[in-house]
Structure formats: structure tokens, C-alpha cells
Structure 1
């Protein structure tokens, strides 16, 4: 696979996106309804709901929910379909295509999704994890400082939290991002390019990150950037349409996520076994990666630092707006939405209903 330059024309970008939408709609739409909508309410006239979930191979509690079939057990009258994606940007494309109902995407692609030109009608209903040492910038070839990346090839998935963090790392180090050859590659493609010697560095996440670390040097992690005020997270989203049509399913989804987080906190070895099965890792490897993340229970997420409560949206709204300001400075979004846009996008009522 040849490396693509960071800049492509708008017409070509739209063409690529349109092709992706068609492919995703064909492969991921799992509705039993003739109109391709999310499905009928479980138990309504004997018809079954199809719940379509976009997930990523990130070692958090979402994989426990999948491995243990917690949602399937909570919704016996529904068909739960899990669809794997490589980045939050791809999840956004799937939502636009009408191909999924729930999804996991990083705070950067969610910020882009809530901003122009995308303006995706979805809500943030869960914080899957606060990103720490599981995302990092790794370099090779004797590169030991971010400033040495000028003129080098650096891979990251465009529109992801890793992309946001990479740009933040450049800014923090005083590096002009336009003087670095930043290449859009998904984690597995970045690993292949790394093995071929086609790239000098990559900002990506585990489990790919663990492979790069074997013969590369970590220059900065997302945990370090968070300490500088550039916090990132993996977020759970639900489409407005689905949340309105199936509030009971949204409640069930939040409750099983909470159940999985509590398992990870109280029995990390058992949680690591489930995550290891999903990622083809040993329990020891999975446990190491799990510990790189910060997981929050539903009760913790209702706190002011996170999603918050009805009438009192949490600081996550400010974090998303700050990310929009940064992305606008990098010309990644058309404009910075009003703070109320991000506050209204936090599904605090749905969270409170499930946490209560």
C-alpha cells in the first residue's frame, strides 16, 4: 500500500467519503425493517429490534460487554450486531450513512462530528475511557525529540484523538505542523508502513502502539498531554433518532457498560481475560493495556468533571469546545460551535436515568 500525502483535494475527499458510505451501508446496516431504520421496539407485535454497535479494538470495558454478551443478555428480544471500525473518523462516516446506532469514537472525531460541516445528530452518552499511556507518539532511527520530526514522515489516523494529540504535541514543542509530512494511516496500516521502513514515527494506540514500542522510542504520551491541558477520551455516542425511539435500550446499554467497568475495577484479572480474547492477547498483556486507561462508573460520570447531571452539564462540554477551538486553528473544522451545542450533546438525562 503506497503512502498517501496528507493533503488531498476536497473533491477527492468527498468522493472517498461517498464510497465509504456506500460500503458501510451495505455491510453494516443490519435492520430488519424494510425502510432500513433501527428496528421496531422489542416485543412490539413480536418484531425484534436490531441494535447496531460500532466498536474499536481498544482495551476498555466495551470489549468486556461484547465478550460477555452483556447487552445480548439484557435485551433478549433484540438482535445485537457488533461492527468493527479502525478509527472514530470511520465511525462518524458510518453514523452519517445510517449504518450504526451506537458507537465508540474519540473526543476529537466526536468534536468534529458535532461541528460544521458534519453536524452529526448524535449524543455523547458515555465515557469509555480517559486516554492515558495507551496513545503515544513513537519514533525510530535515532529520533529522540519532537523537534527532530521536521521534514520526516509521521503517520496517524486523520480525525482521531491521536491526530489531535499529535498536533497538540507539535504545538507544545514549537514545531510548525506544515513542516512535517503527516500521513493518514489507520493503526494496522501504520504498523505495516513502520515494518517496511516507510515512516519515521507514528501517533497511534494500543495494541498497535505496543508493537511500535518494541523498536521505537516514545516521545510523548496522551497522559502527558492531558497534564498540559489537552485531555482526550474515548466516548460512547448514540444517534438522536435511536435515543428518542428506544430510551429503554439506551438505559440497558449504559447499565451493561457500567457493569463492565465495575468488573474491570473490582476484578481486573477477569476483565483482562475477556479483553485478551477479543484482542488475541494473553491476559497479562491485556491487563497491562487495561491499566493504561482510566475507566469511570456511571455514578462517577455524573460528576461535574465529566458528563454531569440534568441542568448541570459537566466539564466534558468545555473539553469538547476547547478541542473545537484547537481543530479550527488547524483548519480541521469550519467553525467553533457555541458552547451550548456541546452542552446539549451530553446525554445527561439518559445517564442519570441509568445511574439512578
Structure 2
């Protein structure tokens, strides 16, 4: 058995016509059977033969996602939905210092969903799992008015190398991987008839289709043990900074000019009217934020170069419990906690991405400039 074939005779039939047992059999019969999955698929529970060392613990994360913007815009087939679902769940495992091992998937399917669509989703999921060195070992299918994919990822992590949000220390550098804002720019641009060059279109398309974490760098950082804290910033940079500082009982000073944006999207960024901080608030780029000792920055840059992922220092952790940002206007202001919130977003009548506009502010009241400059200078 190998990866799901690109076409099946049942692809045009709906899941209602086939029934749950046939849907599951159709999917599992063509999937690769992991060596560590005892007794194969089809039991009430998956028997996973993963031997933990004396210094190892399990890292487990569950995430839900739906039909993503890339599929809605016709930029990719249903494979990108499965890819995002796996990447979404695996991302948190990796930033926590874990190595992904096993994955279970729950598919919530409207009755008129075609088998071809479901197979496409699972094909993307299987390829993504293999990309991260993990295997799909089980799952479930259930009828639901709206499509959703619920993924549980299980990984292993060395007990003394596990990386949470609460370990930041005063003087640490706050470092962002990759670039931010490209997913939001792609969402804003590609859903409207805007004329852009082919190079820009490719960058924005990839930002929507390939929402994947910096996997290799994440594993390298975990193995090296150089970071004090880390977090997936898929829900937005301001929220990630608040999460690390809140969990650590500390504050932070951030320079908006340092927030990394894609160097070849300058024109689109300018026309959007959005600031770097606003663009970073969208999330969806699936990058990481680390709190790391300044003495380890050289090591981090070496690891990043090998992994082919850029890293950028955007600020410092401070002992005082204030969160401030020096804006592009060179003013120190309070950093608001703007982030994707599945409960709060629905109450506004729109999704998180739709609420981000030039009129939205990620900053609050003006802070004492001299005091912040001193703190930033001391900690930088």
C-alpha cells in the first residue's frame, strides 16, 4: 500500500451514498501502513509501538481547521486542506521541542461531500505527515453541516529539552523566524482583481497554499536547547508576545521597524496601507517566536542558515511587566493583545483576517519615551 491514488471509481459519489464504513475503507485501504502501527487500521484504538527513553515524554496537540482560503480561491486542490490541517497541529509540537511521530484525523463531513474531495484532503494530509516524519495511525469520520478536519499530533520530546511559553528571562532577545504578513497580503490581493506581476503572484500564492512551520529550524533549535521559550505565531505576533510574557511574568520592548516582511512585496505592502505590526497581527504565516539568550544568537543564526530560514531579532524581554512597541513613527506605545480568537472573532460578524484594516490599531496609549528608550537601550 502507498499514498492515496489520485483517482478512484468512487470519487464522484457522495459520502451519503457510500456510507461511513465504505468511506473509511476507501481511505485506509490505500494508505501507507506505518511499521510501528500494530495490527493495522480498523480497531477501536490504534496500537502504536513507540518506545520512550527514560528522558523522553510525549508531546500532544489537537487543532481544528476548515476549508482554507487557498482552496476557496481555486489556487490548489483539496490536498492543501489536508496539508494545512497536519501542518497546523504539527507546528505546536515542533516549537515545543518535540519530534512528530503519530497523527490521528477526525473528518467532519457534510452528507453531499464527494469521495474525491475527501480523498484529496487525505492525500494532502498523508504527504504532509510524511514530510514531518510522522504517520497517520487512526481517526474518525462523522456527519456535520460544515466541513472540518480535526488533527491530533503526538510527538516525543526530551524531558530536559521541552520548550514552553513560560521560560523567558529578562534580557532575552525576542526572535521571529521567516517573514510575516504574506498570508494576509495574499488573502487581500488574490481574492480581488488586482494587477500584479508574476513574481509577486507566485509569492502570495505560495503564502496561501503552503502554510507550513519552519520545521527543520524548529527541530534544530529544540535539539540545541538554546531557547528559553517559544510559541507558534499563527494567531498573530502581538498575541504571541503577550502569551510568552504573560506566562513568564515579564514584559517586552519591540521595535516595529524590525518586524520581518517579504522584501519583494514592498509595493503591495505600501498599497495595503497596513503597518508592519498590523500585518504581523494577522497570523497565518506559521512562523515561530523564540525568547533566547543574546549569547546564543550567533548559534541560532548558524542553525537558521543550515535550515534555510531567516531569523530576525525584533525586541527584548524585560523584567518590568510592560509590553511596549516603538512604532514606525518612533513613538513608544502600549502593545495591544490583537490575535485570532475563534470565540471573539465570530461575535464581530467576521473572521480575524477580515477585521484587520488600516483603521485597526495594534497600539494603545503613548508611553514615557525617555523611560522606554532607557529600558530598550539597557536591554538591547
Answer 1 or 2: higher relative contact order, Cα 8 Å, separation at least 6. 1
TM-score (norm 2): 0.29
Q: Looking at CA atoms only, which structure, 1 or 2, has the larger radius of gyration?
A: 2
